[in-house]
Amino acid sequence: MCATPPAAGRWLVRVLAPRREREAIEGDLHERYARKARELGSRRADAWFLGQAIRSAAPLCLASASEVSAGRWVVGVVAGALITSLLPALITSVAPLETLGRPQDLVLEYLALSLPVAFAGGFSSSRLSRAFTPVTVSCLVALLYAPALVAMIGDPTVAGSDWGCLGLTVFAGCAGGMLAARRSTRTGEPVPG
Amino acid sequence: MSRARLTRFEFLVLAAILRIGDDAYGVAIAEEIRQRTGRDVAVGSLYRTLKRLEKKGCVSSTTGEPTPERGGRAKTFYRVEAAGREALRESVAEVRSLVDGLDLRWEAV
């Protein structure tokens, strides 16, 4: 019988591992997993594999980030910033400016929301695979906009222009993701899966 | 040449590679550390440390042939270089100079 490591763990390691060490890391985990599966059974081996993947996430992330050149970081952060550039428009369309308080609160809110996206955009577009980049960007955009979307659906006063603004934002997110994906493709990075 | 200073984990990894010899790759290094120290090493921490040691010039790596037990993936073998041996020697000397003459029996009390 040939046991297979859990897909979630494999995916996490594949996505986060530095390109140069990826094959060795995946091979080591596969070899140790097969040994654990023989000795302890596949369920405990699965748990061990997932534990390894989770414990390895932070060090692998740091190792990957350290091999990215400054230029690619800049490209990624700019892409992330562009994706979130429509955030103030959406915030003001959901909650009118006068209800948000001082303008600087709006700026702070924008920065708090956009900086993690810019960082994630920088990380993903600078080193991750083309399959992962649009997924990261789309998930982050969806996560950030979910509360606003719920508020809009439940609000009968939302105008057509607000929905247009939301559509435009989603389009910008997707376009940013695809541009980043094209860039990753040009670098010849392999696609997982 | 400026000498490389080692963290505790780098020290363990270098010593494990030296003990294993020519067949030092990820699984063997992790197993050696587990057997001798009881630490279950996360593969991510191990490779991050190996990468750092390689950058410092303490170890060098070569890629082996893909094997079926690794799902067709190749091993990466590591070797301790002269700078690594020197860093290890200095770390051991530092520890020795600190503990020599100390009465450590109080730990058992």
- The chain B residues in contact with chain A (CB within 8 A) are 25-27, 30, 42-45, 47-48, 50-51, 63, 66-67, 69-71, 73-76
DSSP A115-147: HHHHHHHHHHHHHS-TTHHHHHHHHHHHHHHHH
Residue B73 has its nearest CB partner, among A16, A26, A32, at A26
Q: Is B16 exposed, middle or buried (0-12, 13-18, 19+ CB in 10 A)?
A: buried
| Average pLDDT score, chain B | 90
Residues A100-135: tens digit of each pLDDT: 555 545 555 555 555 566 556 655 555 555 445 555
Kindly provide the ipTM of the predicted complex, given to two decimals: 0.86
CA distances from A19 to A126, B44, B52 (A): 12, 13, 15
All residue ranges of chain A with pLDDT < 70 are: 1-2, 68-193
Query: Chain A closest CA to B35's CA: distance in Å?
Result: 15
pTM of the model: 0.63
Higher pLDDT, B76 or A100: B76
Largest CA distance in chain A: 66
How much of chain B, in percent, has pLDDT values that exceed 70?
92
CA dist B38 and A22 (Å) reads 26
* pLDDT of amino acid A123: 59
CA distances from A39 to A27, A36, A84 (A): 18, 5, 50
Q: What is the C-alpha R_g of chain A?
A: 20
Query: Chain B closest CA to A41's CA: distance in Å?
Result: 17
Local structure of A184: helix, strand or coil: helix
**Element housing B62 (H / E):** strand B59-67
Q: Is B17 exposed, middle or buried (0-12, 13-18, 19+ CB in 10 A)?
A: buried
Residues of A in contact with B50 (CB under 8 A): 21
* pLDDT of amino acid A175: 58
* pLDDT of amino acid A58: 85
* pLDDT of amino acid A193: 29
* pLDDT of amino acid A191: 33
In chain A, the N- to C-terminal Cα span, in Å, equals 23
Query: Chain A closest CA to B26's CA: distance in Å?
Result: 6
Residues B11-31: tens digit of each pLDDT: 999 999 999 998 999 999 999
